[in-house]
Copies of this chain bind each other. A is one copy, B any other.
Amino acid sequence: MMYCSVCGAKTEFRVPADDNRPRHLCNQCNTIHYENPKIICGCLVTYQDKVLLCKRAIEPRSGLWTLPAGFMENGETAGEGALRETYEEAYARPQLGELYALTSIPYISQVYMIFRAELDAPEFGPGPESLEVELFAADEIPWDRLAFQTVTRTLEHWIEDQKTGHFPLHTIDIQERIQARV
């Protein structure tokens, strides 16, 4: 941020009074421009014993597989956002379940909220941001072609939890960027 979005003056990056970290400040209109983490919401969609993955048509990680998810929008609930993204990316309309994976990625200031969701019928297809959408059994997951660490971690939990039939919330913190596997 170089300019104040309220008045157009140049901003300064310093610690405001009564604060403990630097912010983008406008010395003309005195606005403090806070920047905060963004929420990515989506679904771990299942049909019978398979999970729905989308092959990304867009960067980053175009061509790799992911869970349907995207930035939560203003004016929606987390669950509404998760279902909206699932429809936009996979043309799927599952029944929303509970929050399943809460992943913090502090080095990019993102929080993933992935809900479980169940399809009544195997009806889905690629939205504009997907090349393909497919159901995968546990032993079919393309581990070396997954787009993001959070997808890998969430699917690892799902595979373990399938064995017990108990799917508790998993809180995941990803502290280090790793090289893409492909």
A-side residues, CB < 8 A to B, are 1-8, 10-11, 18, 21, 24, 33-39, 71-80, 98-99, 102, 104, 106-107, 109, 111, 113, 128, 169, 171, 173
Task: Select from chain B the residue with minimum beta-carbon distance to A71.
Answer: B36
Task: Select from chain B the residue with minimum beta-carbon distance to A107.
Answer: B75
Residues on B with C-beta less than 8 A from A73 are: 21, 36-37
Separation of A128 and B71 alpha carbons in the complex (Å): 33
Q: How far is the CB of A142 from chain B (nearest CB, A)?
A: 27
Q: How far is the CB of A101 from chain B (nearest CB, A)?
A: 11
Task: Select from chain B the residue with minimum beta-carbon distance to A77.
Answer: B104
Residues on B with C-beta less than 8 A from A72 are: 36-37, 111
Task: Select from chain B the residue with minimum beta-carbon distance to A18.
Answer: B128
* B106 and A71 contacting across the interface, CB-CB below 8 Å: no
Residue from the list B3, B77, B99 in contact with A173, Cβ < 8 A: B77
